[in-house]
Amino acid sequence: MIAMPGDLSVQTALLAACIGYLCGSIPFGLVLARAFGFGDIRKIGSGNIGATNALRTGNKPLAALTLAGDILKGTVPVLVCWRWGVEAACTAGLFAFLGHLFPVWLGFKGGKGVATYIGILLGLAPLGVAIFVAVWLGMALLFRYSSLAALTATLVVPVALWLLGYDIIAGLAALLTVLVYLKHHANIRRLASGTEAKIGSKG
C-alpha cells in the first residue's frame, strides 16, 4: 500500500494546482511546430496540438519532441510536488492534465491528453506506465487503431493500480480516464461507425 500523509492544506493544494496547471498548459506542439517552420499546427491535419498531429507534418523529430514535452509536463509538476505528499502530487497531476486539455493561452482548446496521462503515471506510479504500454501495444497489434489502444489502456490502468494497492493514484487515474474519453468523443464515434483511420493508413 502507498503511505498516506495527513490532510492536504488549502495553501499546499492551491500551490500544487498552480504548478500543475502552468506546466500542463505549455503548448509544446504549437511552440515546436513554429520553431520547425510549420507555422500554426492547429491549421494542419486534425488541428490538434499533440504529437499525433505533429507527425502529420512528416517531421518525425518534431513529433518526438512534442511527445516528450507533453509527457514531461505531466511528470515534472508531479515530481516537484511529491515533497508535500501523494495528495499534493496527485493534485498537481490533475491540474497538469486540465492545463493540457484546457490551456488558457489557447482559448481553453488543447490536446486530448494521452501523452500527459502517461507522464503523470510516470511521476506517480511508473508501474502504471508499463501496464499502459503493454495494453496499448497488445490492442494496437490486434486492431491497428491507435485511439482504441489508448482508450483501452486508460480503462485498464486505474483498475490495475487499484488492485495493486495504489488507491489514491487509481482514483486520479480513473478521473483522468473519464476526461480522456470525453476528449476522444469524435474518435469513439468513428470507431463505432468503422471510419476511424488505422495505424499506418493515409486516411
CA-based nearest residue to 194, from 144, 135, 142:
144
CA distances from 160 to 43, 69, 167 (A): 38, 26, 10
Beta strands in the chain (DSSP E): none
CA distances from 65 to 12, 26, 62, 173 (A): 31, 13, 5, 24
Does residue 90 surpass a pLDDT of 70? Answer: yes
Q: Tell me, what's the pLDDT at 8?
A: 83
Please say whether the beta carbons of 123 and 79 come within 8 A: yes
Mean pLDDT, range 130-151, rounded to an integer:
97
Does residue 56 surpass a pLDDT of 90? Answer: no
DSSP string, 77-105: HHHHHGGG-HHHHHHHHHHHHHHHHS-GG
- Whether 199 maps to a domain, the answer reads no
Q: What is the pTM for the complete model shown?
A: 0.93
Does residue 6 surpass a pLDDT of 70? Answer: no
What total of structural domains would you count in the chain?
1
Q: Tell me, what's the pLDDT at 202?
A: 55
| Parent domain of 117 | 8-191
CA distances from 60 to 103, 141, 144 (A): 25, 21, 20
pLDDT band at 200 (very low <50, low <70, confident <90, very high): confident
Distance from chain centroid for Cα 164: 22
Cα separation of 13 and 143, whole Å?
Answer: 41
Average pLDDT score over the chain = 93
Q: Which three cell numbers stand for residue 152?
A: 483501452
Start-to-end Cα distance in the chain: 45
DSSP string, 14-41: HHHHHHHHHHHT--HHHHHHHHTT---G
130 or 6, higher pLDDT: 130
Mean pLDDT, range 66-91, rounded to an integer:
97
- Whether 102 maps to a domain, the answer reads yes
- Whether 60 maps to a domain, the answer reads yes
Mean pLDDT, range 113-118, rounded to an integer:
97
What counts of helices (H) and strands (E) characterise the chain? 10, 0
Does residue 2 surpass a pLDDT of 70? Answer: no
Using the 8-state DSSP alphabet, how is residue 45 labeled?
A: T
Cα separation of 98 and 17, whole Å?
Answer: 10
**Cα dihedral across residues 184, 156, 167, 114: positive or negative:** negative
Does residue 151 surpass a pLDDT of 90? Answer: yes
3 state DSSP class of 109: coil
Q: Tell me, what's the pLDDT at 4?
A: 40
